[in-house]
Amino acid sequence: VFGSGILATGSAPGARFNYAEASPEVVERVRRIERVCADFEVELGAVATRFAMSHEAIANVCVGARTVEQQQRNLRWLEADVPDELWIALAELDHA
């Protein structure tokens, strides 16, 4: 769901993707996604979580947590409302 971390932490220095330090290209892609999320005032982690849950073939999404705070954050993300317009804006990133 979180791409080994970067979709939970965002494009912060040291962000990880695919179990390694994220490449500059991945970091830049996440920055573009973060800007769209910010435009709609939706957290990046919520978008990642809701995206994983959006396909009809997905019955469950299980996200790990090391702390109670992370559990609470994950629940908030699982319950987040992501407007249809945000998904459209993200899809348009691929065509820009």
Q: 84: closest CA among 43, 38, 50?
A: 50
The structure's pTM equals 0.88
- Classify residue 91 by its DSSP letter: H
Beta bridge partners of 21: 16
* 7 pLDDT higher than 90: yes
56 versus 42: which is more confidently predicted?
42
Give the pLDDT confidence score for residue 77 in this predicted structure.
94
Handedness of CA 67, 78, 30, 38 (dihedral sign): negative
Query: 93 — phi, psi (to 5°)?
Result: -60, -35
